[in-house]
Structure 1
Amino acid sequence: MASPAQELTLIGLCDGGLDPKRYQSSYLTNKVGGQPDWMPAISRLSPRCGSCGAPLAHVVQVYCPLEASPYHRTLHLFACPGAECSGRSESWRVLRSQCLEVEAAQTPSRPVPAQDAPLAATDWCDTADDWGMEEEDGWGGGVKEESKVQKETETPKAQAASEIDVSTCLQDLSLGEPQDDAPILRPFFISVVEESDLGGEKDDLQHAQQLLKEYERREGVAVGELDGDEACGGRGEERYEKTRARHGDAVFSRFMKKISLCPQQILRYCRGGKPLFISEPPSNMAQLVSVCATCGGSRTFELQLMPALVSLLQRDGGAEAELEFGTALVYTCTNSCWAAGSGSAVEEFCFVQADPDQQLFK
């Protein structure tokens, strides 16, 4: 377990298919693909690609209320499946929606999930926590800010919110029903574990280091610093140089090392934490992350989509993935600003990095 002083990272995993005929999802559900589940007071949106203008596919929905906030809160990520678009930031959209409990109560009664429906949020695995909300009639949970998973003991007092014009946040979006030609990806549930609970990681690391040392002694080589700042001698130097030539820098090696305990992770959540870049980020990355268009405040890193998600992004009956990307990083308003009674989602910032290996095949 991570100490209180450490950043707590939550790992999202695919938890089986979501059959809409047997289980009706809502904005409280963490899922991949399918149709976006909008909050009751939020206008339906049909975002289009900022590059080619095509309708975007719904990629991921994450229910992520913030600690000590009276609002429900959901993020929707959309992307263009075009061959030249999916790896480009301008072809992605992130929309944040919020509503108060009283607004959510206006939602019609939800149907009871079928008997063989997937497990609820708190049943994902023995050591996993839900994403911050108490289980509600079998519906999925959400992420709490700073990843502090605890039950609410009372409803927080509503905070005063100034009247804010959010129209500027919805550029390149069209109102109304979703476009008929918008691609629909196969839906999957997302379950979650804490990265620190991924089972025996300390022992595994020590065992791996011991095996590496034995290999170095047996073969007379030094390969222990493949992702470090200095190249090793002998065959170790050769392998290091090949790694550098293939990926351009050591960032990719660090990325792979970080996710090696759980390569199947499809999402990483750590609001206010540090993103895990798959390749060297631009030197002006801090300037690229624009301020919130609604309140003018800063944005903070919240979550990122991982390479293992790519293979899941298929249409029904499709054999190939619809999208190609390395990682998609989402930055949201630090204050999570929201105008009381607003019916419009707020657009956040998404930065996409391509998989370095894709360049080998072009």
Structure 2
Amino acid sequence: MATSSTKVVELGFAEPPDNPLTADSFPNKIGGKPAWLNLAHVLTAEDVLCGICKKPMVLLVQLYTPEDYPPEAFHRSIYVFCCKNGACHKTSWRKSLKVFRSQLPKYNPYWPPPNEESNGDDSNEYANCSSEKFTAVNYCVVCGLHGSKKCGKCNKAYYCSKEHQIIHWTSGQHKIHCNTTTPSLDDDNLCSKLVLFPEFEVVSEPEGNLVKDSENGEVDDSLSNLDNGNSRALVPVGDEIYENTQVNVDKAFLKFQKKVEPYPDQVLRYARLDYECEKNATPLWVSDIGKPMPEDIPSCPHCGQERTFEFQILSTLLNYLQVDHMQNDSLDWGLLLVYSCKDNCHVSDKNYVEEILWRQDFSDEGVNWSRFKSI
């Protein structure tokens, strides 16, 4: 995604990956197993336990967001975890979503500096760092979290929790391959597909500053006229869109609808600004209600600096997650908004810093047009 010096909004689109989204490619991705930045320290099941069902959450979105300041943020990734049980979110979404920040300096034991920057000094610095001994952790074969448990029979398969061990034994067919030399990668992948969200690569493009009329190329000034009393919603019906004068929607939703209309398949909007900017970036809201109060976004508990808006996940992402909207307890949201420490503070005794996630739902007056979109 965009670095901190970029002032424009970066739009994220979900695409099937052309190549495996491995850790050494520093991917921006949706679903699948996490591609860990810190190879010696990964999150545990206890770190991402849903506060309602007490089961491990799974990766929803991972973004690689390196920044120039401080030096410890040369490598920087954000991990968003989500419980797949929609009933938990309806009980308390605050206990069903978590976001973590992980970062590393340029010289670290895991990743060499970029080739274009390598020189004699870089080689010496990296040689010193790479000589540091670290033990790569074992990953849960099902979800990719820290595998703190292992199969007592074969001592080869690792798990983050008893629940995932049971799933792997039954749905993953480990009971057939345990203590055999027959590889079970296909069964492992099938098991992961049952537990994890489908994996997509997030491809980003900068958003244009002006919304153009698709037919005559003139600037669409409707965004500046949302305060008039004649605003109407564009309501999708099948493949057609018509103007419905009977639908009442709030102004924030109309602005959101107009803003995303040129790029209706966007699933993410990244808008973190330079840490020296006087004015922080603001989200594109889907409603005039449900916005966080200042006390809902507390300052960083480690350095005292404010947390600022970094990116938002749109409801269009749900189309890629194989969510059945016809079920009463299906996963749902209007926006998921991530707020992170403005200073990217480095906490020496923490490899992952938990940040703030806020959920905004569509208002009763809003029209969730994205549900009518199909992949």
* TM-score, length basis structure 2: 0.61
- 1:110-125, aligned counterparts within 5 Å? none
- 1:255 aligns with 256
Cα 1:281/1:90, change in 2 over 3 Å: farther
- d(CA) in 2 for partners of 1:62, 1:92: 16
The answer (yes or no) to whether the contact 1:275–1:304 under 8 Å persists in 2 is yes
- Whether 2:296 is the aligned partner of 1:285: answer no
Gaps of 5+ in 1: 110-132, 138-150, 158-172, 213-223
The answer (yes or no) to whether the contact 2:52–2:96 under 8 Å persists in 1 is yes
- Whether 2:80 is the aligned partner of 1:93: answer no
How many angstroms does 1:83 deviate by?
2.1
1:40-94 CA distances to partner (integer Å, 9 max, x unpaired)?
2433322012333232121000000112443311000011121223462331100
The letter of the residue matching 1:242 is: Q
- d(CA) in 1 for partners of 2:336, 2:65: 17
- d(CA) in 1 for partners of 2:18, 2:314: 20
- 1:230 aligns with 228
- 1:268 aligns with 269
How many angstroms does 1:98 deviate by?
1.0
Cα 1:229/1:196, change in 2 over 3 Å: closer
- d(CA) in 1 for partners of 2:231, 2:346: 56
Any idea what SS the aligned residue of 1:303 has? strand
- 1:36 aligns with 34
The answer (yes or no) to whether the contact 1:50–1:90 under 8 Å persists in 2 is yes
The letter of the residue matching 1:14 is: A
How many angstroms does 1:295 deviate by?
2.3
2:107 to 102, 105, 115: 102
Gaps of 5+ in 2: 126-144, 149-158, 168-191, 235-242, 273-279
Cα 1:86/1:262, change in 2 over 3 Å: farther
Q: How many residues are treated as equivalent by the alignment?
A: 277
- 1:332 aligns with 340
1:187 to 174, 182, 199: 199
The answer (yes or no) to whether the contact 2:69–2:344 under 8 Å persists in 1 is no
- 1:178 aligns with 160
- Whether 2:354 is the aligned partner of 1:347: answer yes
- Whether 2:208 is the aligned partner of 1:196: answer yes
- d(CA) in 2 for partners of 1:320, 1:75: 31
* TM-score, length basis structure 1: 0.63
How many angstroms does 1:190 deviate by?
0.9
- d(CA) in 2 for partners of 1:233, 1:319: 28
1:128-159 CA distances to partner (integer Å, 9 max, x unpaired)?
xxxxx97x79xxxxxxxxxxxxx99998x9xx
The answer (yes or no) to whether the contact 1:43–1:175 under 8 Å persists in 2 is no
- d(CA) in 2 for partners of 1:11, 1:89: 25
Cα 1:319/1:50, change in 2 over 3 Å: closer
- Whether 2:88 is the aligned partner of 1:80: answer no
The answer (yes or no) to whether the contact 1:227–1:254 under 8 Å persists in 2 is no
Cα 1:312/1:6, change in 2 over 3 Å: closer
Pairwise CA RMSD? 4.3
The letter of the residue matching 2:53 is: C
1:201-258 CA distances to partner (integer Å, 9 max, x unpaired)?
4354864778x9xxxxxxxxxxx79972232399x9xx787332xx4x2211111111
1:103-142 CA distances to partner (integer Å, 9 max, x unpaired)?
2x436x9xxxxxxxxxxxxxxxxxxxxxxx97x79xxxxx
- d(CA) in 2 for partners of 1:84, 1:55: 15
- d(CA) in 2 for partners of 1:257, 1:48: 37
Any idea what SS the aligned residue of 2:88 has? coil
The answer (yes or no) to whether the contact 2:212–2:219 under 8 Å persists in 1 is no
The answer (yes or no) to whether the contact 1:93–1:347 under 8 Å persists in 2 is yes
The letter of the residue matching 2:105 is: L
The letter of the residue matching 1:338 is: H
Cα 1:94/1:12, change in 2 over 3 Å: same
Cα 1:243/1:175, change in 2 over 3 Å: farther
- 1:281-320, aligned counterparts within 5 Å? 281-282=289-290, 285-314=293-322
- d(CA) in 2 for partners of 1:308, 1:60: 13
The answer (yes or no) to whether the contact 1:299–1:333 under 8 Å persists in 2 is yes
